[in-house]
Amino acid sequence: MILTQMKASVCKTTVCVENGARVRAADRKPRAEEVALKFGENLRRCRRRADLSQEELGSRASLHRTEIGLLENGRRVARVDTLVQLAGAMSIQPEELLEGIHWNAGGDATAGQFSISRPPPPPRRRGHS
């Protein structure tokens, strides 16, 4: 009985990963949100560079404009097919939408995790003297 209770307690606080490693559920959500936010930043940057409104991009990618807004605001994560549609609609490689999003593989006893990198700040412009 004690073993059953312990297993139930462990299952509430961890999520099993295929390789047997465990990731606490509390640790997964913030990482997923960071990934969604970074993807959204990339999408917005690429859309603006392509000089498209959310509505224009949505039309080209066969998505509703509200879906574009949800993706850009990090409130939704794109599926692979959506990623390809968006990239194709902006005539860019899908990798551009994934810039700064990296997966670090875990070991035998540890789970892998995402890491998010920020681009370096643009160089400061010096005034003309």
CATH code (residue 28)? 1.10.260.40
Q: Please classify residue 78 by burial: count the beta carbons closer than 10 Å to its beta carbon, then call 0-12 exposed, 13-18 middle and 19+ buried.
A: buried
Q: 89 and 49 in contact (C-beta within 8 Å)?
A: no
In a domain, 90, yes or no: yes
In a domain, 110, yes or no: no
pLDDT at 20 over 60: no
Higher pLDDT among residues 73 and 6, named by residue:
73
Q: How confident is the model at residue 118 (pLDDT cuts 50, 70, 90)?
A: confident
In a domain, 6, yes or no: no
Which residue carries 């902006």 as its tokens? 90
pLDDT at 10 over 50: no
Q: What's residue 15's pLDDT?
A: 41
By residue range, what is the domain housing residue 61? Answer: 23-102
In a domain, 11, yes or no: no
Total number of domains in the chain: 1
pLDDT tens-place string over residues 98-116: 999 988 887 777 778 788 8
In a domain, 69, yes or no: yes
pLDDT at 61 over 90: yes
